[in-house]
Structure 1
Amino acid sequence: MQTEFLQVQGLAKSYPGNAEPVFEGVNFGLTEGEFVCIIGHSGCGKTTILNVLAGLEQASEGYVFMDRREVAGPSLNRGVVFQGHALMPWLTVRQNIAFAVRSKWPEWNKAQVNLHVEQYVGLVGLSPAIDKKPSQLSGGMKQRVGIARAFAIQPRMLLLDEPFGALDALTRGSIQDELLRICAETRQTVFMITHDVDEAILLADRILLMSNGPRARVAEIVRNTMPRSRTRATLHHDPQYYPIRNHLVDFLVARSKDLSHGRAPSVPPEVCPGLNDPGVTPTQPAALNEEPTP
């Protein structure tokens, strides 16, 4: 069994003036090179968990260890891509990424930085726009720059906070394909927040399901039993697709509420719906693709 690269133990978060914690007893781990998505209703603390993993926020209880070292603050070993592109508008694509690269390798000369920047801009297909400013780019191109910047510092772990949520379906799909390709090439470890069930099935090796807040927990971990070579075009043809998808939607619609208020298990069970849910009909699609209203 692989040693867990990231370990989250007994994580909880409370805010002054709130009677109950947003989440508590959160336990999970990631192995190196694994792509994990987390899904749950608004208010369950997904972004707070990601911020704690990034070292941008402190938990009220519990610990996070990455590569056997406690996460106690921000680090260039963890790259973050937020919902907004967070680019500096007065800098070009090249300069935005170079700023991050120089932070990681301050001893590099200009030629080394430029070569490295050009490599990662090319990786996301933006070489023709490398000397343009953000105002000259589309929303999808800006997100590609954010992804290139995060990959360029070669982090041990990449943290994605629903980075494609504001994009149209065509652009979103294109960037998902780029992300899959880059992660396959680099064996990047990724933790990603999403509200899109199909996006999670396409990208993730495992999917963490959060119960509703307050007192939210990771109630269940779903292992994606579909081959890693899956693509958007062929996803729904796989016989394991609908059992997994229906399982996720059923959790979001019904079970996430039933498991809230501390009734979720402290050690989340791991399930494989594509293999062990014989009651789900593979040919009957679930009707939901987005986060349901609680």
Structure 2
Amino acid sequence: MWNETPSNEAPFVKVEGLTKQYRSDLPPVFENVSFSIHKGEFICIIGHSGCGKSTILNALAGLEQATRGGIVMAGKEVDGPSLDRGVVFQSHALLPWLSVEDNIAFAVRSRHPRWSRNQVAEHGARFLKMVGLKDAEKKKPAELSGGMKQRVGIARAFAVEPKMLLMDEPFGALDALTRGVIQDELLRICADTRQTVFMITHDVDEAILLADKILLMSNGPRAHIAEIVINTLPRDRQRETMHHDPQFYRLRNHLVDFLVHRSKQLQVNRNLKAAYGEPVVVRPGLDSLKVVASRDEAIPAARVATRPA
């Protein structure tokens, strides 16, 4: 079945009590957000606009300071940007005056400033080949399609060999066919490199395809992580066939029900203490309750449940 992280393995990333409040006379965008990520896990976070998903990602990247709480990665506090955390934004953010290979080289030199030109080129070419763009290395961004630009952005992020990859809806502007191709590339690369990934998406099917765990956020303001959904589909799942697994529809229905109904109810009840308990850890893809590892999926004192689809 799915890959289960050993219960005795310490979290690679630990987020504790994260709160963001822009003005003292307004409620926080989100508050008391806590979760853990283990090495090699692919985490997706889903929630309605305004719940603070991008702010959480920017805090993980060190690009934004939280009002309260902290983030620790590999035993060190995150207090600013670092090459250990690569970011792929919604826009490709390529330098338009540089070729594809030079855009990659620019990033590689930031990681390896003493490398020769040949070392940089060989390293960059490996990642361009990995995303299927070896033949486009001399082209400028203006000569590329939207999907190709995003692939260059992904190659550039991987080329600096970050310890964690952060992705902010990187495929949101792409057509369905191109998005599917890049999703497949991302799955293959992550399987080869065991890359740790934190990704924002609004696409439920994309989350089921890519993620090991899916964090569901309540609506803002005062948003929080309401549920942690364990993806119990086999990790070698494929886009073309995963819908044949009966678990797929249980997972999908659970996620859609949260976004359409339960997230609104949490917003209505946001002043109730019950709305701010520990996130529920759920396995909606299973037909019966499974025994969860002692760490409760790295969420202290989390409640564990399965809910009908």
Please state if 1:124 is matched with 2:131: yes
Instruction: Go from structure 1 to structure 2 and tell me whether the alpha carbon gap of 1:180 and 1:251 turns closer, same or farther (over 3 Å shift).
Output: same
The aligned counterpart of 1:284 is none
Match of 2:103 among 96, 99, 114: 96
- Structure 1 residue 278 displacement after superposition: 7.0
The aligned counterpart of 2:174 is 167
Gaps of 5+ in 2: 1-6, 289-305
Aligned AA (1:150): A
- Structure 1 residue 268 displacement after superposition: 1.0
Distance, in Å, in 2 between the alignment partners of 1:191 and 1:36 is 5
- Structure 1 residue 228 displacement after superposition: 0.5
Please state if 1:269 is matched with 2:280: yes
Q: What is the Cα-based RMSD across aligned positions, in Å?
A: 1.1
| Residues 190-230 of structure 1, C-alpha deviations (whole Å, 9 max, x = no match) | 00000000000000000000000000000000000000010
The aligned counterpart of 1:33 is 40
Distance, in Å, in 1 between the alignment partners of 2:271 and 2:197 is 28
Instruction: Go from structure 1 to structure 2 and tell me whether the alpha carbon gap of 1:268 and 1:197 turns closer, same or farther (over 3 Å shift).
Output: same
Distance, in Å, in 2 between the alignment partners of 1:45 and 1:266 is 19
Please state if 1:50 is matched with 2:57: yes
Match of 1:212 among 210, 219, 243: 219
Secondary structure of the 2:93 match is coil
Secondary structure of the 2:142 match is helix
Please state if 1:75 is matched with 2:75: no
- Structure 1 residue 52 displacement after superposition: 0.2
Aligned AA (1:171): T
Distance, in Å, in 1 between the alignment partners of 2:166 and 2:31 is 21
Please state if 1:142 is matched with 2:153: no
Match of 1:186 among 184, 193, 203: 193
- Structure 1 residue 172 displacement after superposition: 0.2
- Structure 1 residue 262 displacement after superposition: 5.1
Quick check: 1:25–1:266 contact (8 Å CA) kept in 2?
Answer: no
Distance, in Å, in 2 between the alignment partners of 1:278 and 1:86 is 41
Secondary structure of the 1:240 match is helix
- Structure 1 residue 235 displacement after superposition: 1.2
Distance, in Å, in 2 between the alignment partners of 1:12 and 1:248 is 24
Distance, in Å, in 2 between the alignment partners of 1:262 and 1:39 is 22
Match of 2:115 among 100, 108, 118: 108
Would you identify which runs of 4 or more consecutive aligned residues in structure 1 move more than 4 Å?
none
The aligned counterpart of 1:286 is none
Match of 2:162 among 155, 160, 167: 155
Q: How many residue pairs end up in the alignment?
A: 280
Quick check: 1:27–1:266 contact (8 Å CA) kept in 2?
Answer: no
- Structure 1 residue 266 displacement after superposition: 4.0
The aligned counterpart of 1:64 is 71
- Structure 1 residue 267 displacement after superposition: 2.1
Give the fraction of aligned pairs with identical amino acids, expressed as a percent: 66
The aligned counterpart of 1:228 is 235
Instruction: Go from structure 1 to structure 2 and tell me whether the alpha carbon gap of 1:79 and 1:70 turns closer, same or farther (over 3 Å shift).
Output: same
Gaps of 5+ in 1: 281-294
Aligned AA (1:243): R
Aligned AA (1:274): G
Aligned AA (2:281): E
Distance, in Å, in 2 between the alignment partners of 1:64 and 1:267 is 18
TM-score (normalised: structure 2): 0.89
Secondary structure of the 1:151 match is helix
Secondary structure of the 1:25 match is strand
Secondary structure of the 1:207 match is strand
- Structure 1 residue 149 displacement after superposition: 0.1
Secondary structure of the 2:45 match is strand
Secondary structure of the 1:27 match is strand
- Structure 1 residue 17 displacement after superposition: 6.0
Secondary structure of the 1:177 match is helix
Distance, in Å, in 2 between the alignment partners of 1:134 and 1:22 is 36
- Structure 1 residue 265 displacement after superposition: 3.2
The aligned counterpart of 2:206 is 199
TM-score (normalised: structure 1): 0.93
